[in-house]
A and B are shown apart, each in its own frame.
Chain A
Amino acid sequence: MRYLPLTSADRTAMLAAVGAPHINALFADVPDGALLDGPIKGLPSHASEMAVERHMKALASRNMVAGEVPFFLGAGAYRHHIPASVDHLIQRGEFLTAYTPYQPEIAQGTLQALFEFQTQVARLLGTDIANASMYDGSTACWEAVAMAGRVTRRGKAVLSSGLHPHYAATAQTMARFAGFALAYQAPTLTAQPDDAALITAIDGETACVVVQYPDILGRIPDLAALAEAAHARGALLVAVVTEPVALGLIEAPGVLGADIVVGEGQSLGVGLQFGGPYLGLFGCKEKFVRQMPGRLCGETVDADGKRGFVLTLSTREQHIRREKATSNICTNAGLCALAFSIHMSLLGGEGLGRLARICHARARATASRLAQIPGVRVLNSAYAAEFTVLLPRDARPVVRAMADAGVLGGVALGRLYPHAGELHQGLLVTASECTTDYDIESLAAALRAALKGEKA
């Protein structure tokens, strides 16, 4: 077996060295009957590299590749061009095969990269500080709610109807078991988010208001007004960003008054990967640092006075605090954070702004083309690169028909809100720098054909 260096001669000699007559003598503590007498039956034996590659390739070929067709999906996972150097650098063995940096003297590469990542994230989100990453946007969102509970000592949160429904479901699953009360309902199809309704829902028991920005329908809530309303009632504003590229265009949530800003960092450097691994971003005001979840990397000096970096404030964490920890998280998303950071180091603030404007321009071109199709209407007044169109019928079969025609034409709201029939005519469409004029024409043609086909 190509990954196992011990030879049978090694094994014999080593068994003798440890005084074991045979290998199963080392498994003597396994209770009677539980030690298997050979390889588990019905499972295949080892396979060559070529055979495994062939098998996996066959599975891969049964998927429609986003980059090979006109592609317009978003809803929390975004496709951008990733510079070749990003993937090259994260595959360096010193990054790829390192562990969590518990021995900082020999992990300065990872630690310095994390420190740079934290700085980039804080500046992007407009927060004082940021942590070294969370699992993904949805789990970061729940962690923000739990943190707001600790900060305010309140047990209730108001989730905006524009929050990604998977994020809301994740928070609801956790909140139910953690004894936290959440108010949430599905959105309605209006051109602008109903910030006023959200403000009305805040009361003296509310720990935080959670607002996605831009929201699941691509609309942009008025964060400054929401922050003011939340603060007036002693609550925190948690802003959720599922597409950080949009922050190259629209104002940073921290600047608008959000106390905690979480996000999904996948759109920079990480890629689609069918939903994971992704990368949770988590930034907040400095005064809340000791209530933050997740790993933090901090600057310090070594015995010679040289600048160096360490994991810090670990007294918040599970391996020290055990059942009193601020979070149970141990592993986070180190390599995805590195990919994000490398992509951001290439883009810079200027490149990010440029990228966001291009995505926005391609989205506008897409929206105006779709609006020409009879029966199709664009919902949003303002949007960055993702918007909602209303179709004359349920969007789910339309999306399926477009896929059969070789166009991945968006996300049907029915997929996200199966139980909210009034949303089922909505189709979420996202454009990016990858969107060509040909893609837009293909989408328009496929949509027109799908709508016609449904009528027939």
Chain B
Amino acid sequence: MNAPNPSGWRPSMGASAPAAETTSSGDHGLALEEPLIFELAGPTGTGVDFDAADEAPAPELMAFLRKSLPALPGLSEPDVVRHYTRLSRQNYAIDLGPFPLGSCTMKHNPRLNERVARMPGFADIHPLQPKHTVQGALGVINELAFWLVDLTGMAGVAMTPKAGAHGELCGLLHIRKALEARGDTRDVVLVPESAHGTNPATAAFAGFRVESIPATAEGRVDLAALTARLGPDVAAVMITNPNTCGLFERDMKIISERVHNIGGFVYCDGANFNAIVGKVRPGDLGIDAMHINLHKTFSTPHGGGGPGSGPVVLSKALCAHRLVPYTERHADGHFTLVEEEDDVDAFGRLAAFHGQMGMFTRALAYILSHGADGLAQVAEDAVLNANYVLRALEDVLEAPFAASGPCCHEALFTDNGLPDGFSTIDIAKGLIDEGFHPMTIYFPLVVHGAMLIEPTETESRAGLDRFIASLRAVTLRARAGDETLKSAPVYAPRRRLDETLAARKPRLVWREEG
């Protein structure tokens, strides 16, 4: 077995016998266990000092008072800092190494963006302050909006959606509204079977009927099947481009043309925009609406599962009817925030206030840092890195669409060819022991045991070589039938967790024993 790390260092204990329970504390050096916050202290005390004196509530409030305070511990600052610092060390993160999750675009999060978002002029302003006191904030929204429109070649953008799936909803509601406005009741949305799960879920939530479109053997939308299904009941096609097999949809322009010809709209899932940003404008491909995950392409941090931000760029056909609020820039340089009172034709609102401002400032700082030239370089390096991974591993892992040509920003492999009893999960968990976060596994669903690898542009060549060596080593263990792989991971803070138990008897909150 190849040693993947350049120093050649390996833990000395046997793989199936971790240095378990040999210490009195349960900790092992810097591998620290941490109890729940409720086990650290009783439900009293507070770690906050207050300036003002405590006063009795107003007599009018007596009838409404809480009978007992919530039973929650309040710990001192040193205890809280230590608790969360110890917890943090049980996490993998992009700051520790590559996070090659396909379709998730885990790239480096520049710290300048954190500094910018925390400027009091952005972090400490209220969403309902008089508009003339927040001209800089409206300026950020407007400036980012212009960048997104220019980068995508579209006509407008709705900035408020709070994440990618929320953006999908926003885009589909624009389509619903445009259809309604012309008195059209068509209600079928076609979704390729390789799509993200959010696509069909969103279409159903927006009140559409969902039908699936098959893929060809080479991993692209089946144009013939799609064309055959197009008809007067089809409201829209939701397509991911580049698609979830990591391939650019060559027929995209033709697809858009045919969908438009029957009076439908083309929605594009922009989760994979990182592969083409600055190189291709979706507007040039006939797209009518596309959400942009600022937390993917434009590097706002994922934060362990959000917050995200999903502005939706729109074609001219979809800009006629809008959601509030939005910003407008005037000739004299001042900005208007258009809300309910200023646009009686708007067809509603997707959330309170104005969208994910804290993500807008970060994304704008990221975009300004790269500029138009740097963003094109982002796409080129992301695609180059993915192809480098694809070609470096196709001799040991089945790459189902490798013969279809180059991939975009993610490389897709399957577990076909592994010995009986070994599958994608074992490769993934083996990678954990190698010190890497696994790739996206079992997605897309159109191939067996998918492994979808998206290195992104922020991995160095040396870093990719280390990752490739580790994935190769783990794959070779699987191919050799190494049974110890099935107990991986053994070096992580936890070994494989019993997800069935968690689902059968859900314990979602902590309760005192007994």
Contacts and interface: CB of A to CB of B under 8 A. Distances in A.
Given A71-B126, A105-B494, A312-B502, 8 more contacts: A5-B458, A34-B285, A113-B304, A173-B349, A251-B65, A276-B358, A349-B43, A350-B69
B354 A355 contact: no
B352 A348 contact: no
Given A97-B109, A123-B71, A107 B304 contact: yes
Interface string A390-410: 000000000110010000100
Contacts of A327: 201, 205
Given A109-B90, A250-B61, A382-B58, A89 B384 contact: no
Contacts of B166: 135, 139, 329
A112 B80 contact: no
Interface in B491-514: 492-499, 501-503, 506-510
B36 A116 contact: yes
Contacts of A174: 205
21 contacts: A28-B406, A29-B249, A35-B279, A43-B150, A46-B370, A47-B369, A52-B369, A53-B116, A57-B119, A61-B136, A79-B126, A92-B88, A97-B99, A115-B510, A173-B348, A247-B66, A276-B307, A289-B506, A331-B302, A350-B46, A415-B128
A402 B365 CA distance: 33
Given A99-B305, A105-B495, A345-B75, A328 B509 contact: no
Contacts of B69: 248, 349-350, 352-353
B149 to A, nearest CB: 11
A118 B301 contact: no
Interface stretch (A126-134, A153-161, A197-205): A126-134
Contacts of A313: 503, 506
Contact of B48 (A66, A252, A355): A355
B372 A45 contact: yes
B278 A251 contact: no
A13 to B, nearest CB: 7
Contact of A331 (B54, B60, B295, B358): B295
B73 to A, nearest CB: 5
Contacts of A355: 48, 50
Contacts of A314: 503
Interface string B11-33: 00000001010000000000000
B493 A334 contact: no
Contact of B347 (A95, A173, A252): A173
Nearest to A132: B305
Contact of B306 (A178, A275, A332, A408): A332
Interface residues on A, range: 35 or more
A346 B497 contact: no
B409 to A, nearest CB: 10
Contacts of B320: none
Contacts of B383: 23, 26-27
A255 B365 CA distance: 46
Interface string B404-433: 011000000000000000000000110010
B290 interface: no
Given A97-B109, A124-B70, A418-B339, A68 B132 contact: no
B134 A274 contact: yes
Nearest to A173: B348
Interface string A327-349: 11111111110100010111111
Interface residues of B, number: 205
A306 B364 CA distance: 44
A308 B489 CA distance: 14
Contacts of B496: 105, 302-303
Contacts of B336: none
A403 B70 contact: no
B165 interface: yes
Interface string B337-351: 001110000011111
B489 to A, nearest CB: 5
B52 A3 contact: no
A299 B252 contact: no
A277 B66 contact: no
Interface string A17-32: 1111001011111110
A25 B136 CA distance: 42
B130 A403 contact: yes
B163 A303 contact: no
B7 interface: no
A103 B136 contact: no
Interface string B104-132: 10101110101111111111111111101
Contacts of B34: 112
A322 B201 contact: yes
Interface string A295-330: 111111111101011101111011111111101111
Interface stretch (A164-172, A230-238, A439-447): A164-172
A350 B37 contact: no
B240 interface: no
Interface string B140-162: 10010001001100000000001
A408 B125 CA distance: 10
Instruction: Name the 7 nearest CB pairs between A and B, nearest first.
Output: A348-B74, A60-B121, A335-B303, A275-B353, A351-B46, A418-B341, A173-B348
Contact of B124 (A6, A66, A101, A350): A66
B421 to A, nearest CB: 17
Contacts of A381: 60
A425 B467 CA distance: 64
Interface string B221-248: 0000000000000000000000000011
B93 A312 contact: no
A56 B285 CA distance: 33
Contact of B88 (A77, A95, A306): A95
Contacts of B77: 83, 85, 346
Contact of A360 (B61, B121, B164, B304): B61
Contacts of B60: 381-382
A62 B196 CA distance: 40
